[in-house]
């Protein structure tokens, strides 16, 4: 290749970089108009909209540029514009130095978003509830936990957070050499999209085992799994279970009616704790 040809190609790259930069600045102007139209509403997380944007871009993508890199770039772009709309800060569960949740949060919400570490899950939930943080990052619920954090979201108190998304959004990503996951909580949002999983808390009036619940739901078309259980000894007639499913559970579902009839229990309460868009699979990003 001649020096002239190489110089031409470099000029082409500069021209493209300028075009990308111009579009980023133009997009910022549009975001400012959106913020002005909303008035004093401030930041409102749109996890469903973000998932739809990424799916659309992945679907139209072609050429050798890696899809995983495309997802990472757009996460940074969307976070930067979200920050233009108001106070965007993250509260991250950090029980010990070097916990992977910090890296997951930074990868998702960009290099410019302020982050604070909290040694307890209650600290994260409280920061979101008070408005100190718009985003909280917490571990994936595990069935073996004796005092799960999700029980604190089973509340009708003002500004109780909900689950909004799951990290990482691309299953190919590793953090500190291993594959780690987390959930994002924020103030309640009705912004949903296709291909979601929903969390619902079921409250029963007497003891029922996780095994029986799982067995009752095993043939459900909603792909229901029990992700946790909690019993508070001070509330002797309250047993809580966290269910994950392809839709929000409610009392009139055939699966619920079958469960109640077979086990002679009553549902004292049910509450949607939120949802998350399904992460991109390795195959989708290949």
pLDDT of 100-113, one tens digit each? 899 899 989 988 89
* Per-residue pLDDT at 242 exceeds 90: yes
Band of pLDDT at residue 86, cut at 50, 70 and 90: confident
pLDDT of 126-183, one tens digit each? 999 999 999 999 999 999 898 999 999 999 888 899 999 999 998 765 655 567 899 9
* Per-residue pLDDT at 26 exceeds 90: yes
pLDDT of residue 60: 96
pLDDT of residue 238: 77
Q: Which burial class, exposed, middle or buried, applies to 266 when counting CB atoms under 10 A from its CB (0-12, 13-18, 19+)?
A: exposed
Architecture of the domain delimited by 3-195: 3-Layer(aba) Sandwich (3.40)
CA–CA dist 241, 151 (Å, integer): 9
CA–CA dist 92, 133 (Å, integer): 10
- State the average pLDDT for the chain: 89
Of 238, 253, 251, 208, give the one whose Cα is nearest residue 226: 208
With contact defined as beta carbons under 8 Å apart, do 280 and 170 qualify? yes
With contact defined as beta carbons under 8 Å apart, do 200 and 271 qualify? yes
Architecture of the domain delimited by 197-274: 2-Layer Sandwich (3.30)
% pLDDT > 90, the chain:
58
* Per-residue pLDDT at 41 exceeds 70: no
pLDDT of residue 178: 64
- Could you state, in order of their start, the residue ranges of all structural domains in the chain? 3-195, 197-274
* Per-residue pLDDT at 57 exceeds 60: yes
Global pTM reads 0.90
* Per-residue pLDDT at 226 exceeds 90: yes
CA–CA dist 262, 168 (Å, integer): 39
């Amino acid at each position: 290749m001649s020096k002239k040809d190489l110089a031409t190609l470099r000029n082409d790259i500069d021209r493209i970089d300028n075009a990308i930069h111009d579009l980023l600045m133009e997009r910022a102007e549009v975001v400012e108009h959106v913020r002005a139209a909303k008035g004093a509403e401030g930041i409102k997380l749109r996890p469903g909209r973000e998932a739809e944007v990424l799916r659309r871009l992945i679907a139209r993508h072609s050429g050798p540029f890696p899809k995983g890199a495309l997802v990472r770039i757009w996460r940074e772009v969307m976070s930067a514009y979200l920050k233009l709309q108001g106070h965007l800060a993250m509260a991250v569960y950090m029980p010990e130095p070097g916990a992977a949740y910090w890296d997951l949060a930074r990868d998702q919400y960009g290099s410019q978003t302020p982050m604070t570490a909290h040694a307890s899950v209650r600290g994260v939930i409280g920061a979101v509830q008070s408005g100190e943080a718009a985003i909280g990052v917490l571990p994936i619920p595990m069935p073996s936990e004796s005092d799960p954090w999700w029980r604190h979201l089973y509340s009708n108190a003002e500004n109780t957070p909900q689950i909004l998304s799951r990290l990482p959004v691309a299953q190919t990503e590793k953090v500190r050499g291993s594959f780690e996951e987390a959930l994002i909580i924020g103030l309640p949002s009705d912004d949903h999209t296709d291909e979601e999983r929903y969390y619902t808390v079921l409250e029963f009036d007497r003891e029922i085992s996780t095994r029986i619940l799982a067995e009752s739901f095993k043939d459900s078309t909603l792909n229901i799994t029990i992700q946790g259980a909690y019993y508070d000894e001070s509330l002797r007639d309250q047993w809580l279970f966290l269910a994950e499913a392809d839709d929000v559970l409610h009392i009139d579902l055939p699966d619920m009616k079958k469960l109640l009839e077979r086990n002679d229990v009553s549902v004292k309460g049910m509450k949607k704790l939120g949802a998350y868009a399904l992460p991109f699979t390795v195959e989708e990003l290949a």
